[in-house]
């Protein structure tokens, strides 16, 4: 079986997708062949250059051509957020499988439309919540499911970066709701939500507050200031359907933070802690044995934590961000070949994104929101 890939966009995520699909077969071996069929970017000369660099057979500057191409079975969308809906709906209408970067769309209504269209068409979908593909995260899920830390009662998580910390950074489309949708919630907070739900189950309700730290930013042409319409920081208190509670915090204006994506799961017998900047380590505390010998133990990822072993036979050598994308791409290819769902598809991602939009609603309306 051979599957043709069409990639729209060649930025950070576009390159990550290209490398992931190129590596997936070599790493896992049990996947259908992937043909890097068509790449789209603008202008046309850039598309041609990047197609050669990434190893695609052809290039175009018109995404409609890519979506309609008979050579393309998977449409990989790595464009700015505001373009996701139109491209995904067109790809679904053409009978293509869709690999879309997060967030799915600018609004929850648009995301619901995308999910309904995919479900009606029967195509496979996946959304780029790559951090939940980490073998260490999968091991944390197993430990919780096996009752190692007892009944999970509280989730505490934070995700911070500093890419918008400098008040002198020029205004961009990311500050405008019509182009970017939510701010730090759509960029960063949704990743934390995907982890919280994966470990604790669905969210029942929440109460939240948000903050615009830099109300305006200088326009790039020097003509004045542009208003910032979406949040720089957000905090939420959650109640899960299980009865457990949680607290989430996210900021895109946290000086010094590059990819601080940390969580703790507190249980009745112990706890689990994780930090994405040390993504090959899991911290486990269990209330067992003599108190004088108790303490956190560091679990270092290795072949015992699949699919780490597909990349490297030795523990401690470590996976990286790109490897998570390779796991993501491989899971999608297996699902397409088997005709089975994959996680997180549009339905699961819709659940994640319902939470970040509920945080926004709670903050704007000053009330607890039921999911």
Domain edge (last residue) among 130, 151, 179: 130
- What gap in Å lies between CA 244 and CA 246, rounded to an integer? 7
Q: Residues 327, 98, 350, CA angle at the centre, nearest 5°?
A: 85
Domain edge (last residue) among 106, 130, 154: 130
Q: Is the domain of 294 the same as that of 155? A: yes
- What gap in Å lies between CA 44 and CA 64, rounded to an integer? 14
Q: Which of 31, 34, 42 minimizes the C-alpha distance to 18?
A: 34
Q: Is the domain of 149 the same as that of 296? A: yes
Q: Which residues are paired to 33 by β-bridges?
A: 2
Residue 245 lies in a domain: yes
Residue 289 lies in domain: 132-319+344-370
Q: Which of 190, 285, 196 minimizes the C-alpha distance to 242?
A: 196
The CATH number that applies at residue 151 is: 3.30.360.10
Beta carbons of 80 and 180 less than 8 angstroms apart = yes
Q: Is the domain of 48 the same as that of 159? A: no
Q: Is the domain of 247 the same as that of 310? A: yes
Residue 328 lies in a domain: no
Q: Is the domain of 122 the same as that of 221? A: no
Q: Can you give the pLDDT at residue 310?
A: 98
Q: Is the domain of 220 the same as that of 79? A: no
Domain edge (last residue) among 104, 130, 156: 130
- Tell me, what DSSP letter sits at residue 65? H
3-state DSSP assignment of residue 7: strand
Q: Which residues of the chain have pLDDT under 70?
A: none
In the chain, how many domains are there? 2
Q: Can you give the pLDDT at residue 1?
A: 74
Q: Is the domain of 123 the same as that of 199? A: no
User: Cα separations (Å) of 15 from 40, 156, 181, 251?
Assistant: 12, 32, 23, 25
3-state DSSP assignment of residue 143: helix
Q: Is the domain of 126 the same as that of 136? A: no
- What gap in Å lies between CA 329 and CA 333, rounded to an integer? 6
Residue 63 lies in a domain: yes
Structure tokens of 118?
């995919």
For 361, counting Cβ atoms within 10 Å of its Cβ (0-12 exposed, 13-18 middle, 19+ buried), the class is middle
Tell me, rounded to whole angstroms, the distance of Cα 174 from its chain centroid.
17
Residue 193 lies in a domain: yes
Beta carbons of 236 and 206 less than 8 angstroms apart = yes
Residue 324 lies in a domain: no
Q: Is the domain of 160 the same as that of 45? A: no
What sign results for the dihedral spanned by CA atoms 105, 213, 195, 206?
A: negative
What sign results for the dihedral spanned by CA atoms 75, 81, 83, 85?
A: positive
The CATH number that applies at residue 120 is: 3.40.50.720
pTM: 0.96
Q: Is the domain of 136 the same as that of 126? A: no
């Amino acid at each position: 079986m051979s599957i043709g890939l069409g990639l729209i966009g060649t930025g950070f995520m576009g390159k990550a997708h290209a490398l992931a699909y190129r590596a997936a077969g070599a790493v896992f071996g049990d996947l259908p062949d992937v043909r890097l069929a068509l790449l789209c970017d603008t202008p046309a000369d850039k598309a041609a250059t990047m197609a050669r660099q990434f190893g695609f057979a052809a290039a175009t500057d018109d995404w409609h051509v890519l979506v309609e191409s008979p050579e393309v079975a998977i449409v990989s969308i790595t464009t700015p957020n505001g373009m996701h809906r139109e491209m995904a709906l067109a790809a679904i209408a053409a009978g293509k499988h869709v690999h879309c970067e997060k967030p799915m769309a600018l609004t929850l209504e648009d995301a619901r439309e995308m999910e309904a269209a995919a479900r009606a068409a029967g195509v496979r979908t996946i959304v780029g919540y790559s951090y939940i593909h980490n073998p260490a995260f999968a091991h944390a899920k197993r430990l919780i499911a096996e009752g190692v830390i007892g009944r999970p009662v509280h989730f505490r998580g934070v995700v911070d970066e500093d890419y918008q910390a400098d008040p002198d950074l020029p205004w961009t489309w990311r500050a405008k709701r019509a182009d970017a949708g939510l701010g730090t919630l759509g960029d960063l907070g949704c990743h934390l939500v995907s982890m919280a739900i994966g470990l604790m189950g669905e969210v029942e309700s929440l109460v939240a507050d948000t903050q615009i730290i830099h109300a305006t930013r200088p326009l790039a042409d020097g003509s004045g200031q542009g208003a910032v319409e979406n949040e720089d920081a957000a905090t939420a208190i959650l109640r899960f359907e299980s009865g457990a509670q949680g607290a989430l915090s996210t900021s895109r204006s946290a000086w010094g933070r590059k990819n601080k994506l940390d969580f703790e799961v507190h249980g009745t017998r112990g706890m689990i802690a994780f930090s994405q900047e040390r993504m090959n380590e899991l911290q486990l505390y269990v209330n067992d044995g003599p108190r004088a010998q108790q303490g956190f133990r560091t679990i270092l990822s290795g072949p015992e934590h699949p699919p780490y072993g597909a990349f490297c036979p030795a523990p401690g050598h470590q996976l990286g961000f790109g490897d998570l994308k390779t796991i993501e791409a491989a899971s999608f290819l297996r699902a397409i070949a088997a005709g089975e769902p994959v996680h997180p598809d549009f339905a699961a991602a819709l659940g994640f994104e319902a939470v970040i939009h509920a945080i926004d609603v709670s903050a704007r309306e000053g009330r607890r929101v039921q999911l």
